A = this chain, B = another copy of it.
């Protein structure tokens, strides 16, 4: 069994943060919910077609347990469930933004590199 952060008081901030958002698809999910909110499961799926449903649900559950994401179930037929970021979850916006910004830098870096290589 895994030891949750609740038992680990000696975590550094980065360890604590990574234990929560370090999951394979979590940043991507949070990114979606920053783009648009609330979102239904099927909508998240269309944002992230590369993630299979089982994984998506798992990661959503974990985010929900950690109170990053809130899940609202409407008792209707057919079922309707909406996901959105909690208050702490919304505070992740700078994280996602900085990652996207860096992605931009990195893309530029790659292009410069390939230009050098092809221009020899």
Q: B-facing mask of A96-119, CB < 8 A → 1, else 0?
A: 111111111111011001000000
A18–B27 touching, CB < 8 Å: yes
For A20, give its contact among B18, B22, B106 (CB under 8 Å): B106
Chain B, Cβ-Cβ closest to A48: B15
Size of the chain A interface, CB-CB below 8 angstroms: 37
- A46: B residues at CB distance < 8 A: none
Instruction: A107 to B107: give the CA distance in the assembly, Å.
Output: 34
Chain A residues 10-62 with CB under 8 Å of chain B are 12-18, 20-22, 24, 27-28, 31
Q: Please give 12 more A-B residue pairs, beta carbons under 8 A apart, in addition to A5-B110, A17-B100, A17-B103.
A: A12-B100, A12-B103, A13-B100, A14-B31, A15-B103, A20-B106, A21-B99, A67-B113, A88-B109, A91-B105, A95-B98, A98-B98
